[in-house]
Chain A
Amino acid sequence: MEILYCLILIPTMLLSQTLINPGTIVFKSGKIIQCQLKGFSKNTVWFKSTQKSNASDLLVLQNICLNGTGVVYSESEEYLYSLDSLTNYSSKRKINSQISDINKDSSNKHEFSIAIGLLTTATFFEIVKAIVISFGATESTDYGSYQTHLGYRYFRNKHWIYGIDFSYEQYG
């Protein structure tokens, strides 16, 4: 188990993109609890843990290990901890006030979309061909086309989004 002390020097934004796996928080008292990254907002990183700790321990939450694997998870017994820039423990009151920020975060969310193509690729190339080759767009005026698509997106984190497209195009 490797404790990454140097993490406190890494900007929170960079860290927030790295801590996507379950891990372990090491306290000053020596106690180690397993945790799960709950989310991040602004300069605060949030963890969910199944074990409660006291305030004096929480002052040294900056010692974080990323190598933990098994997460003890229980819906009925969970506690939220936050790290402001990985140095200061936020009060319970602040945690409550920022839970809404977590919910607004784009991580791990789903999105459904519907769209219309204003210009299909086939028509676009027909127009280009008409302009370049025959110096007139008369050829392309014979064509009518439209394109539409349905999409689903899964927000893996703040930047990378995965999805499925279903597209229909009619041309001619």
Chain B
Amino acid sequence: MTGKIFSRYLTLALNVSYYWVQYKWLHFYSGLGIGLTHVQHETYGIISASPNRFSGVGLQFNLLGAKIAKKLSLMTEIGAGYRGVFTIGLAYHL
């Protein structure tokens, strides 16, 4: 019988980015984020000695981000941390 672990990670973090290139509507940037991550594990079919709920430091290293910068922007990022490895999203600039 194979056991399973189901996990949730909730992170609230502060982020700083540096824009290397801002050529008209094409922007490139890198950044770093640090905050608090709350982890919740649920185990099925296995007995785990580690705690099911705990909090710790959450980090994000954003190696390279690219943005098509308009009022409504399209962005994609490569990095590692609480925002994953590859990210794609939308941004609205006030």
Contact = CB atoms under 8 A, between A and B. Distances in A.
A and B part of one assembly: yes
Interface of A: 106, 109-122, 124, 142, 147, 149, 151, 153, 158-172
Contacts of B90: 113-115
Nearest to B81: A121
Contacts of B18: 159-161
Interface string B28-58: 0101010100000010000000000000001
A34 B35 CA distance: 40
Contacts of A122: 7, 9
B35 to A, nearest CB: 7
Contacts of A110: 93-94
18 contacts: A110-B93, A111-B73, A114-B91, A118-B85, A118-B87, A119-B84, A120-B85, A142-B2, A151-B91, A153-B15, A160-B18, A162-B14, A163-B16, A165-B83, A167-B11, A168-B10, A169-B11, A171-B6
Contacts of A120: 84-85
A112 B91 contact: yes
A166 B11 contact: yes
Chain B interface residue bracket vs A: 35 or more
Indicate the member of A112, A122, A159, A169 with the most B CB atoms within 10 Å: A169
B1 interface: no
A77 to B, nearest CB: 27
Indicate the member of B11, B19, B83, B92 with the most A CB atoms within 10 Å: B83
